[in-house]
Structures are given as structure tokens and as C-alpha cells.
Amino acid sequence: MAKKASTIFMCQECGYESPRWMGQCVCGAWNSMVEQKVLPATTDSRRRTGAAGAAGRSDSGVASPGRPVQLGKVLSGASVREDTGIAELDRVLGGGFVKGSLTLISGEPGIGKSTLILQAAANIAEKYGTVIYVSGEESEEQIKMRADRICKRIPENLYILSETNIENIILQFESIKPVFMIIDSIQTMYSEALDSAPGSVSQVRITGNELMRIGKGSETPILIVAHVTKSGDLAGPKTVEHLVDTVLSFTGERSSDLRILRSVKNRFGTTNEIGAFEMCEEGLIDVSNLSQTLMEDMEGGSEGSVATAIYEGSRPLILEIQALTAPTNMSFPRRTSIGIELSRLNMLLAVLERRASVNLSTQDVYINIVGGFKPDGTSVDLAVVLAVLSSFRGITPPPQTLAVGEVGLTGELRSVRHADKILKEAANLGFRHLILPQKNAAKLQPVNGIEIIGVKTVFEAIGVFSKKKI
């Protein structure tokens, strides 16, 4: 006799399960508990099976489901990839889509996700074979209009499917047997086995598991599109983020044509790798020299503007830091930051006041990293300090000068990684002076005549910046 489905309450934010309804979940979200029916566990073909699901094979063949395999006997050959024909996308992925992998891409509406994946789908179909694009939000006509605009040629083996039922999608997948599949988006997909609405934790979980099953089983790479919140985080449950092999974040400023693709998670390559694109009428175009693009609009000799460098993935990037100080009309001065954490800015201002005797208690301070970047590292600390000083004292920055370094609480400058590559990138862009920590400077040799200036403290860096040594 078949068991009846039980009922639980599940948080739509974190996936926490409870036998009773709660007004506030353990994650802190209010009114996020939704009643869900739970089907009894069964052993069928939908459940993931050990080595078979992971494509792990021994010298005697595929291991039996549910049985351990000796690690030393598992063949670990190089991952077979499908390149997309888009250089910057392949850079972020590590060379292309790995066969049998699940890739998640997220971004704000209108940022260009659908454009990017449609270009990749057309290139893959042209080179490797049948590709199916599953859309739960747009009709075939809408996708065709975009394809006519951005694709030079639409391959005959590129198929479009407007469907949200995962069971029907699987049927079409097994019938067509594509070499690549796109799901746009997972929040619109649902399974008939559950009564919950599309986008709920249970629906995302079962949909993600089904996609993983067919992808791993057929060694077909699957690209999944997901929505984001206003803050830029993945909307809804995080279940699928832990399930997939690769997570990509697509960002950019509405006022700019520049788009940045960042690898947040990658089981087959490096993380924090970035790719750059320029949005135009014909679609997305690769930006190979990102530093030059970011520095095109920088005006030399402007107060409050200082060039700096970060290292993202496998490439150095030259950025512009802009600072503005203005007398405040409030009892508590305002601190506004775009690109770096506000807590980090407050710490740097405290170091500037204590170690360099720069009183900013009566000044509002505004910081902006041009290009919409949000660096994870601290190599921009020195440039932020010097930009604030330049705006506050009306100091014109020395021409063609780059400042790099982490600032400590005692005012010392800590070394940064990949200083040699930053030096080469600065020299290629025509910079003449590089201010950086003494520990880094001692290990570097001048490139193309660029002057390397090593400093130990913030106070010493300010002296150099004030043209005492340049």
C-alpha cells in the first residue's frame, strides 16, 4: 500500500523545514514559511547514483550504484570541454563548458544574460551539434527577434522550447538528445509531483536534481539562468547554488556599456576569474584589454582622482579611485562608498586622521570606484587614502602615477600579491611612477623606464604623493 504524502512547512529563503508554521524562520526571515507536501522516499531512476552519477569509472567499468570505489582505480582524465566561441566567457569557465556539468548564471534583468547565452548557444550549435534553449519567460518569437539581431547566422540545429514543466522538458531532451541545453530560468520551472508554486524551495530542489540527473547521465552540459534580488544576491532558495558545478555572476552599470562576468564558484577552474564585454546593438563583444577601457575616461591631474590596481583571477586591472570631501552641515559627517565596504572606508579614514594628522571630522567623504568594480582584496587601500587627501587639501595628483598597497591600523603598508604583473600592466598603459609597499619594491626591476617607489608607511606615501620625490 502506497504511503500518503506528509505535510511540512518550509522557509522560502533558506530552505529550513519545520513540522509547524513559524512566523519567523531561524534565518531571521518573517512570514517565509510555506506549507509543502513531502512525497515518501522511493528508490527509482530519479535518484542520483554514486559513481554513475558522477561519471566515475574504474578499470572494470562503471561502479555499481551505491557501492564504494577504490579512489586509486578511478580514471581521472582531463575534462572534455565545449568552447563557446566567446573568448571572455571561455576564460571565466576555464576553457569552455565541461561535459556533464551544471552551470548557473545570475544577473539583474536587462543586463544581457539572455544575449550572452544565446550567442554561446548559436556558436556551440554551429560547432558541436544540437542545442536546445528552454525558455519559461519568453516566447519563441521574442527569442527569434533577439537572434536575428545578434547572430550572424542561426544554425538549423538550434532549437527553442517554451515550456515550464520539467517532465515535458525531460521528454524533449531525451527525444532530441542535445549536446548542450539552456534553462531560462529555473525559478519558472515546476514539477507535477509537487503542489507548490514555481520558484519555491521544493520546486527548485526537485528541478535542480532532475537537471543534474539528465546532465550527468548523458554528459550534457546544462546552463541554468537564475534571478537576483535588488542587492545582487540570488533570489529565493540557495539550493541550486550548492547543487551546480559553476556559478557565474553577470554585472554592470545601466549607464555604461561595460559588462563584467565573474566566476564565483568553479569546480573545473579558478574562482574569481572575470571576463569583460561591451554591449552594443549586435550583442556582446569581448573586451580583451579591460584596463585600457577603464582608464579611457580618466583625466590626469584631477583632484581626488588616483589610479590603482587590483588582481582579479588571472589578470591585473588598473582602476580609477575618485574621492570627494565637502564641509558637512550635520553633527555626524556623511560617509558614502561605492565599490568598497563602508566599514573599510571608515577604518582608512581613522588611520589617515591618527597617523597622518588629517582631521576629517567636519567633512563629508564620498568614494567611488569607476567601472562598478567591487574588489575583494585590499590593494586599493593606499589609493583611497591618497584620493581623499588629494580632495581635502586640493593636491593635484602627480601625473602618470599608480598607487597600490594595503594599509594597516598602525599606518604601515603591507605587500600585495602579483606586484610584478601589476608593474607590467602599468608600464603597458604608460604610467611613469608606481608607489607601492617597500617589501614589493625590493623584489621588482623597472619595466619600460617606470619608476618604482617603495614606501613603508602612509605618512611616507603622502610625502611622495605631494611631489617631494617626483
CATH number of the domain at 259, please.
3.40.50.300
Domain, as residue range, for 367: 293-468
Interval 351-368 mean pLDDT = 93
Q: What is the largest CA-CA distance in the chain?
A: 88
Q: Are residues 319 and 255 in the same domain?
A: no
**Backbone torsions φ then ψ of 170, nearest 5 degrees:** -65, -40
**Model-level pTM?**
0.80
39 has pLDDT over 60: no
36, β-bridge pairs: 8
Q: Are residues 372 and 273 in the same domain?
A: no
Interval 234-263 mean pLDDT = 82
pLDDT at 66: 63
465 has pLDDT over 90: no
Domain membership of residue 422 (yes or no) is yes
Q: Are residues 427 and 453 in the same domain?
A: yes
* Number of structural domains found in the chain: 3
Nearest by Cα to 425 from 294, 254, 253 = 294
Q: Do residues 318 and 429 make contact, with C-beta atoms less than 8 angstroms apart?
A: yes
Q: Do residues 192 and 206 make contact, with C-beta atoms less than 8 angstroms apart?
A: no
Q: Are residues 97 and 213 in the same domain?
A: yes
Domain membership of residue 61 (yes or no) is no
From 66-70, 237-241, 405-409, the region with the lowest mean pLDDT: 237-241
From 156-160, 296-300, 403-407, the region with the lowest mean pLDDT: 296-300
Q: Are residues 102 and 218 in the same domain?
A: yes
Domain membership of residue 48 (yes or no) is no
Q: Are residues 301 and 271 in the same domain?
A: no
Q: How confident is the model at residue 77 (pLDDT cuts 50, 70, 90)?
A: low
pLDDT at 56: 44
pLDDT tens track for 103-127: 999 988 888 999 999 999 999 999 9
Q: Are residues 175 and 205 in the same domain?
A: yes
Cα separation of 275 and 86, whole Å? 10
Q: Are residues 257 and 350 in the same domain?
A: no
Among 254, 288, 322, give the residue marking a domain's end: 288
Around Cβ 406, how many Cβ atoms within 10 Å? 16
Around Cβ 60, how many Cβ atoms within 10 Å? 8
Domain membership of residue 153 (yes or no) is yes
Q: Are residues 260 and 314 in the same domain?
A: no
Domain membership of residue 44 (yes or no) is no
Q: Are residues 174 and 313 in the same domain?
A: no
pLDDT tens track for 201-241: 788 888 999 999 999 999 999 999 987 765 556 655 567 78
